[in-house]
A and B are shown apart, each in its own frame.
Chain A
Amino acid sequence: MKKSLLAIAVLAAALSFAAPITASAKDITLLNVSYDPTRELYQDFNAAFSKYWLAKTGDKVTVKASHGGSGKQARAIIDGLDADVATLALAYDVDQLHEKGKLIPKDWQKRLSHNSSPYTSTIVLLVRKGNPKGIKDWDDLVKPGISVITPNPKTSGGARWNYLAAWAFAQKKFGGDEAKTKEFVGKLLKNVPVLDTGARGSTTTFVERGIGDVLLAWENEAFLAQKELGVGKFEIIVPSLSILAEPPVTVVDKFAKKHGTEAVAKAYLDYLYTEEGQEIAAKNYYRPTLESVAKKYESQFPKVNLIKIDDAFGGWQKAQKTHFSDGGTFDQIYQK
């Protein structure tokens, strides 16, 4: 009898200690505001992170995602879309979160390795099966009668990478002659019949609506179109030169602090750099930065002669000002 009482007392004591632990488990919601073609990547990654975080802390994390043109998404955050993390297409758009909104510190890019870009990508050419127009390189895109699909650089990060890749090619081809380079890119843009606001919109235009001969696409988006959206209907053409795209990520400090989610948001981004996170990126056709995973998926990604934004354009701030700000080269050469 006494032993039973003792057992009940011990059990009760144990439960009373356990109860607060159970009670302290939290339901956390994170908002990841991302660019257009990352839907599939973050769908997989969010599920993996929630599982990881639940096992680690007992807290349930629900990650909501918002996707759109990178520039547009940055403006939405500045205008009050209270993202806990931003995973955008290029550093310039993330810089705006500091410059226009003071939402993050100026040195945000130094907070995570690889300049806060856990994965990279590049720009390739996606053509229809059999490559009926015989497109092999950037040169072919300026020929009369070639219909090129690319989104609007004013709203889309991917479009800016596309534009700069073409510019870099022309610059090399014409030995740095800016007039000829401009003319080349102008001809290319003249062949663009529809300007979508984001990369996913352009994919829809090319893949689902059947418009155009070639899609300038993120490599990951091209793989997705080839292997999942239209199996056997498309071919990837790797140009002789392209650009190394480094989509960066950051915690949006001001909003995360307001929500009390700073620690989870940081852990979320850190998890992108882990082997699990890198595997998910690679499976979604993003080039991993972790060497071990990069090696594992080496054969998946074609070898490309890649130039870097810093080397060819003096960094994103300069590139943005020269090419995409009001009155920049895009405005000068694009005729609606």
Chain B
Amino acid sequence: MQFQYSKFAVALLSAGILSSPAIANANDSNELEELRALVQELSQKVKIIERKDEINEEAAVAAKKESPVVKASANGFGLESADGKNSIKFSGLLQADYRSYQDGANDVRNRTNTRAGSLDANGFHDANDTALLRRIRPTIQGTLFGKYDFRFTPEFAGGSASAVDAYIDARLDPAFKIRAGKYKPFVGLERLQGGSDIKFVERSYVTNAILPNRDVGVSVYGDVFGDKLSYAVGVNNGVVDGGNATTGNEFDGSKEVTARLFATPFKDDANALSGLGFGIAGTYTNIDGERNLDFTNTSAADATRNGLPSYLTDGQQTFFRYGSASVADGKRSRITPQASYYYGPLGLITEYARVNQDVSLLTNTTSNAPSVIAANSSKTLSHDAWQVAVSYLLTGEDASFRGVKPKNNFDIDKGGWGAWELVARYSEINLDSDTFKNKNTGSFSTGTYANLSESAKSAKSWTAGVNWYLNQNAKVQLNYSHTSFDGGAGIGITAVNAAGTNIRDRQSENALLARFQVAF
């Protein structure tokens, strides 16, 4: 810029000098003096313009240091203060799913649903093909004073709005952080993976059926030993298996304690073990059974009012429900060893979870009527689940716990095909045999916690699929899932007999699950 002004001045002066008739009389000292003064005057003017530019540039640089930074990228949109200590970011997740069932039922046997018509001869309704919006989650997150983070994520999918995440993080030290609000308890490995990063359309039985989803409370967590060991301990309201707490008051006063240790001892090495992580987590609470509530609501979507869950298949159909007289009544503990491994394009997650749940039976299940725990009906039931899931990126990207950033985005014009990944998983859940028997008599027909001719005792799922990452924001997933059951059906719609001789296995579920996702 300065150079241009100088050149301009020289050109101007030259033009002036050459075109001036005064040049013809250069020996005239007065005119020479005038020319000298003119040159000096013009030189000063040019210098002043240059200096003003310089000052303006300095002012612009200084202003930039103090001006908030607007950020817009594939990672979201936001504002950040000049010192980077305060920021706010807007991001979102939208998942449009389609579920198609070749075989399968929509609920447990003999579960009437007038909107689905009459039960078939075996006491089931078919699982219905459906298109749905699985997740609609705009997110506002940010940081204040460089160390206090907040995140608010409402969920608009499912026909109503709720707060799926609403918490504050105080990052006081890398080894000592505090999270309070509604969040994913630090327990399950696959649960802690972001909803946009999961490798399958739906998570495994370990995550969806046994371990907590979201809870309200406070956790202390951090990374120690050079970030090679993560720890977390928390105190939360407590949720049923796979439960997602509401943001309201808890229905009982007992709290659920959570704890987790996860190690990545080779993370700083450059060898085949650097992507290995393993750990263990658990939860514990002790609640009294509900005595005076209406127990007709036993949906799995929320903390059920009898304190007990129902369980879903890989295709998201209910295959297990506790009987209406069953109620959580005492201790509930969970333990879950877990591991992940990433090496080049290969990824692996494996988890096991076991829940020990004290249950009792009620003498009265009438709506709005006081209930009483039946004498000698308490029992500790142990259910467990496990999964092994592998993924392999075909297009050369490295696998990780987070999402995939394709080496070449999908672009028809430029010839990019995005990233392609093959995935496969085996997952199963097994319920305690005592769930279906009378504690005192051994009968299958009366005094049981659940009915084996209606709810299955186990579900075993094979899932295979392909993930197509068009770019780091858009993903298409296709899963085929086969689930077989142990129990869960009977002969016709007749009730189970005491000896359990009319129990059959529920028909297998074969489902095609498809998803188109945008996350930013």
Contact = CB atoms under 8 A, between A and B. Distances in A.
A7 B54 CA distance: 71
B48 A193 contact: yes
B55 A211 contact: no
Interface in B13-63: 44, 47-48, 50-52, 54-55, 58-59
A194 B52 CA distance: 7
Contacts of B51: 194, 205, 209, 211
Interface residues of B, number: 10
A181 interface: no
Contacts of B58: 197, 201
A175 interface: no
A209 B47 CA distance: 7
A277 to B, nearest CB: 32
A196 B51 CA distance: 9
A211 B44 contact: yes
Interface string A173-215: 0000000000000000000011011000100010001110000
A262 B54 CA distance: 39
Interface string A58-73: 0000000000000000
Given A209-B50, A211-B51, A197 B44 contact: no
A147 interface: yes
A156 to B, nearest CB: 13
A147 B47 CA distance: 12
Contacts of A147: 44
Contacts of A209: 47, 50-51, 54
A201 B47 contact: no
Classify the interface of chain A: helix, strand, loop or mixed. loop
Contacts of A196: 55
Contacts of A201: 55, 58
B440 to A, nearest CB: 70
B59 A211 contact: no
A210 B44 CA distance: 8
Interface in B237-272: none
Contacts of B52: 194
Interface string A275-318: 00000000000000000000000000000000000000000000
Nearest to B83: A80
A197 B214 CA distance: 55
A211 B58 CA distance: 18
A147 B40 CA distance: 12
A147 B52 CA distance: 15
Nearest to B43: A210
A324 to B, nearest CB: 19
Contacts of A194: 48, 51-52, 55
Nearest to A211: B47
A205 B49 CA distance: 11
Interface in A213-239: none
B59 A197 contact: yes
Contacts of B50: 209
A309 to B, nearest CB: 28
Contacts of B55: 194, 196-197, 201
A233 to B, nearest CB: 16
Q: Which 5 A-B pairs have the closest CB atoms?
A: A193-B48, A211-B47, A209-B51, A194-B51, A205-B51
Interface of A: 147, 193-194, 196-197, 201, 205, 209-211
9 contacts: A193-B44, A193-B48, A194-B51, A194-B55, A197-B59, A201-B55, A201-B58, A209-B47, A209-B51
Given A193-B48, A197-B59, 16 more contacts: A193-B44, A194-B48, A194-B51, A194-B55, A196-B55, A197-B55, A197-B58, A201-B55, A201-B58, A209-B47, A209-B50, A209-B51, A209-B54, A210-B47, A211-B48, A211-B51
